[in-house]
Structure 1
């Protein structure tokens, strides 16, 4: 886990304002991984209707709105298992199920450290229709920014490649409202739905923790879609 001290030491030539640091630190000056979430850790199924109710942040979703299956993933951008899922299973999920109208997919922020939180903020600041492309880029290049000695500089480079200026980058990370909403979204996942690790998936309300393989995905979706 990359803590707040390491993030600050790694800012290098990227000058983050005091407001940006305050925003990233959260209301109590702590990263999300330190909040000590207590939720329904043993719950295997949650109320699907409640799960899909609007939270602190508007959901970013892909697929057909009235698809027979909805998958909600709680992820952290610095989570290696999350990156593995998005490298191996995500392409299958998107091509076979999302693009064909069988699955509606929702990614929700559950950052486990300050760097993951910053990455999610950048995805939210990317602009209309650019959330998932930025998430894909961040997961695909995770080792190049999440675990470096200078994560801020690495994130700035990715932001610039997406068309963001350094000023926009700093403005994004200074958005205390957005930072607080990400905190609240993650806390809701923990308190209301028992999310205590990443990735955690909910498939029509059924809790499925851990990075799902393509084969496991097919097995979970077959009875819901009436396929073998």
Structure 2
């Protein structure tokens, strides 16, 4: 089991090898919702300037830059509640709000275990315009790779389907800077914004924890879009 201290230290900001994934990941170690971060803040809203300030990694933005509502989601790719949101509510969010220019959406990395960290690294390495297609695929197929005895092999198969070679896959998981930047993104979320579970959303700065249903999403957005 990956303990909280090792997670907070970013596994020493070490790069991830396929051997490390096999050794450290198991179905028993991937109960994502169990993990938490030290240094929780209690604020229920955050300053938008602080929230949108550049971090260790550039944000991948969906939607119009001048959309009236900004949603920032902190998620883990091995989190079942995150997968449920992206399978059931996110399509509604995209069609009804993002594609119509009402919402700008940003997914930020908050991996709760080493396998989620590796998956996020692959999404970052996928290439221009492929981050969200890759994370969509990873959420949709979560049960096929996140909870297996050999997550490295399962992730390699997904990477190949996206056009990545095995050499590129290994190079990506051995990128120490990327590994450290993902750690820094998660640590900033915990320290500055009080993230201690996934998914956690900030809707124009308002903190909303837990997977939102389409109805709950509508309820949160209605007053903001009526202004």
| TM-score category, normalised to shorter length | 0.7 to 0.9
Q: Secondary structure at the match of 1:20?
A: coil
- Give the structure 2 partner of residue 75 of structure 1: 75
**C-alpha distance in 2 between matches for 1:187 and 1:141:** 27
- Give the structure 2 partner of residue 20 of structure 1: 16
| Cα-to-partner distance string for 1:91-110 (whole Å, 9 max, x where unaligned) | 00000000000000000000
Cα gap change, 1:100/1:36 in structure 2, threshold over 3 Å: closer, same or farther?
closer
Tell me the TM-score normalized by structure 1: 0.85
- Give the structure 2 partner of residue 148 of structure 1: 148
* Structure 2: segments with no counterpart, 5+ residues: 4-13, 22-31
- Give the structure 1 partner of residue 196 of structure 2: 196
1:136-175 equivalent positions in 2, closer than 5 A: 136-175=136-175
Cα gap change, 1:35/1:196 in structure 2, threshold over 3 Å: closer, same or farther?
closer
**C-alpha distance in 2 between matches for 1:111 and 1:36:** 11
* Structure 1: segments with no counterpart, 5+ residues: 5-17, 26-31
**C-alpha distance in 1 between matches for 2:151 and 2:211:** 24
**C-alpha distance in 2 between matches for 1:99 and 1:63:** 6
Tell me the TM-score normalized by structure 2: 0.86
1:42-121 equivalent positions in 2, closer than 5 A: 42-121=42-121
- Which structure 1 residue ranges, 4+ long, deviate > 2 Å from structure 2? 18-22, 32-37
Deviation at 1:34? 7.2
Aligned length: 206
Cα gap change, 1:36/1:104 in structure 2, threshold over 3 Å: closer, same or farther?
closer
8 Å contact from structure 1 (residues 20, 171) kept in 2: no
8 Å contact from structure 1 (residues 37, 187) kept in 2: no
State whether structure 2 residue 219 is matched by structure 1 residue 182. Answer: no
**C-alpha distance in 2 between matches for 1:207 and 1:35:** 17
Deviation at 1:21? 3.9
- Give the structure 2 partner of residue 38 of structure 1: 39
C-alpha RMSD over aligned residues: 2.2
